[in-house]
């Protein structure tokens, strides 16, 4: 049976609100996800919130009821609360009807089966949570095997990144790894490393792609370091017809991912 919390001073409210901070997420091993669509998609993948906060007005919705039942069956806690507290937890003036607290989850390179998918996404030093979330959505859309985050990327479990992923955080495996470890693992088996770069004349529609393709996108402001480009099997560029010298990192990744996918088909 859900309990009711209506006080801002409640210790659990303060604890959950603290998960918007990266340090607290690491200490707790927990993160926030909000919205009925995202939490329902999480549930469909077998991820059940440890805590579920929901507005009283939404308690009768069948999807909210399914979430409550799943949380309680998994020995979590469902909590009826106010829109003001939901706003406090999510940091949004117009909060979603539900907020979930999940255990963090990641995988490792050794757990990946590189033959399981023809395309894999690799991002290096991403700084923008919106870009990371959008790349996760692209990964889900093209059936990527995983998103491999190289070096110091923005936290994929930040509230902003989770929100931008629109549920793809729960469907696309995530690996966080240093460059040296990634490249050593990649060279132990099949895999073509394709880097997005301005330092090449190879157009993205003319390049010879081979599966499994590991599509490498660099930092938003600086692109790929020279030594990372040198390690690629292939460098490709997107044509820029206007005055801009590059596309947004997430947009470029999406364009490339669909080109690679079409070529493999």
Instruction: Identify whether residues 170 and 224 lie together within a single domain.
Output: yes
For 163-197, write each residue's pLDDT tens digit: 999 999 999 999 999 999 999 999 999 999 999 99
Domain that holds residue 230: 109-264
Instruction: Identify whether residues 166 and 246 lie together within a single domain.
Output: yes
| 3-state per-residue secondary structure call for 56-121 | HHHCCCHHHHHHHHHHHHCCCEEEEECHHHHHHHHCCCCCCCEEEEEECCCCCHHHCCCCCCCEEE
Contact of 213 with 220, CB cutoff 8 Å: no
Taking residue 260's Cβ as centre, other Cβ atoms within 10 Å add up to 27
Q: Which of 103, 119, 138 is the last residue of a domain?
A: 103
What mean pLDDT value characterizes the chain?
94
Instruction: Identify whether residues 188 and 221 lie together within a single domain.
Output: yes
Distance CA 35, CA 95 (A): 8
Instruction: Identify whether residues 86 and 123 lie together within a single domain.
Output: no
pLDDT over 90 at 2, yes or no: no
Single pTM value for the model: 0.93
CATH number at residue 67: 3.30.1330.30
Q: What pLDDT shows up at residue 65? A: 96
For 5-25, write each residue's pLDDT tens digit: 999 899 999 999 999 999 999
Structure tokens at 89: 């937890």
Instruction: Identify whether residues 42 and 160 lie together within a single domain.
Output: no
Instruction: Identify whether residues 77 and 143 lie together within a single domain.
Output: no
Instruction: Identify whether residues 210 and 235 lie together within a single domain.
Output: yes
């Amino acid at each position: 049976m859900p309990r009711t919390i209506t006080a801002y001073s409640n210790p659990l409210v303060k604890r959950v609100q603290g998960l918007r901070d990266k340090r607290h997420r690491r200490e707790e091993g927990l993160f926030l996800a909000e919205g009925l669509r995202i939490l329902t998609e999480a549930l469909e993948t077998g991820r059940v919130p440890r805590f579920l906060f929901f507005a009283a007005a939404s308690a009768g919705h069948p999807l909210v009821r399914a979430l409550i039942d799943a949380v309680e069956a998994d020995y979590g806690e469902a909590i009826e609360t106010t829109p003001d507290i939901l706003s406090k937890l999510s940091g949004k003036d117009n909060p979603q009807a539900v907020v979930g607290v999940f255990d963090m989850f990641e995988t490792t390179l050794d757990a990946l089966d590189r033959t399981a998918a023809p395309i894999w996404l690799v991002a290096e030093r991403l700084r923008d949570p919106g870009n990371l979330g959008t790349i996760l959505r692209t990964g889900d859309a093209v059936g990527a095997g995983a998103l491999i985050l190289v070096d110091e990327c923005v936290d994929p479990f930040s509230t902003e990144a989770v929100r931008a992923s629109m549920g793809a955080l729960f469907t696309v495996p995530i690996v966080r790894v240093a460059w040296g470890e990634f490249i050593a693992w990649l060279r132990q088996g099949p895999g073509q490393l394709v880097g997005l770069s301005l330092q090449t004349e190879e157009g993205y529609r003319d390049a010879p792609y081979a599966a499994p393709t590991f599509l490498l996108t660099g930092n938003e402001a600086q692109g790929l370091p020279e030594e990372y480009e040198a390690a690629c099997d292939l460098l490709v560029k997107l044509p820029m017809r206007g005055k801009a010298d590059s596309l947004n990192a997430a947009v470029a990744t999406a364009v490339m991912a669909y080109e690679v996918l079409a070529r493999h088909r």
